[in-house]
Amino acid sequence: MSRLGDLLLLERTRQKLTRKQVARKCGISENYLKDVEEGRRIIQDDQARRILKKLGTGDQHENEFSLDEIAATVDLGTIAPQKNEAIRQAKETKPEKPAPQKSPEEQSGIWLDALSSVLKPVPVMNAGWIQIDRRLLPIQDGKIEGANPDRVAYFKVPDDSMRAFRIEKDDLVLILPQQLPVDGAIMLVEFGAHRVLRKIKIFDKTRILLQSGDREMSADPMSVADIHFVGRAVRVEIAL
């Protein structure tokens, strides 16, 4: 530590002068004065006298004491808080701008983006194939139940026509894309203006049975050409 540097800092802070003001008065750089005050540069006696004189205190000090005697009387323990405060005030700090607050919708979108590689929002469709809800499903190896995540959907069962197969009204059935009939599978099919779940029984390449059942089982023979196969049911979530 430099007692002369501490003395210069003490006189400057007593007079409430900035480093820039003192540096201009004394013809030195602001960085040079900063280094002297913080003890990183040793100042010569004549240079210290010149700066103190510019501050209007040099003559008084020299008349009463030598510069070395004055410097030796500086109590570093007393001046330390003043020095630290002076250093803090001398630093020009720019206030940090607070981060803009995000709306709940934006925060929800951020979370969905972060989870997009793990979870996928799957649409829930009604009998008119209109989305009425969505549910999150896990993605494994980039797929849901082995299918493209963008092509799976839930179908909300509109009636009890498949109760015999333990599928009841308002249950949610997960549908994977499948455009060809699968023997013994429960599939979502379209024919005429209807979109329904049916169990498939294949006769041959051109004919199938669409099986359903509430209180009684029924089977409707259909031509494959008259049916559009939307997908195959792989999971049922019951409504409580």
Residue 237 scores a pLDDT above 80: yes
What top-level class would CATH report for the domain 115-237? mainly beta
Going 225 to 227 to 228 to 229, the CA torsion angle's sign is: negative
Q: What is the mean pLDDT of the chain?
A: 79
Fold of 3-90: 434 Repressor (Amino-terminal Domain) (1.10.260)
* Model confidence pLDDT, tens digit, residues 49-108: 788 787 776 554 444 445 554 555 444 444 455 555 555 555 544 455 555 666 665 655
CA 177, chain centre distance (Å): 34
Cα 138 to Cα 226: distance, rounded to the nearest angstrom: 35
**Amino acid at the residue 231:** G
Q: Which residues of 5-36 are buried (b: 16+ CB within 10 A; e: fewer)?
A: bbbbbbbbbeeeeebeebbeebebeeeebbbb
Residues with Cβ < 8 Å from 7, sequence gap 6 or more?
48, 52, 70, 71, 74
Q: Quick check: 61 and 71 in contact, CB under 8 A?
A: no
The pLDDT assigned to 115 comes to 54
CA contacts within 13 A on the Cβ side of 1: 14
Cα 185 to Cα 213: distance, rounded to the nearest angstrom: 15
* Model confidence pLDDT, tens digit, residues 23-53: 888 888 888 888 887 877 777 777 777 887 8
| Choice between 109 and 73, residue whose per-residue pLDDT is larger | 109
- Which sequence spans correspond to the domains of the chain? 3-90, 115-237
**Amino acid at the residue 169:** K
pLDDT category, 206, cuts 50, 70, 90? very high
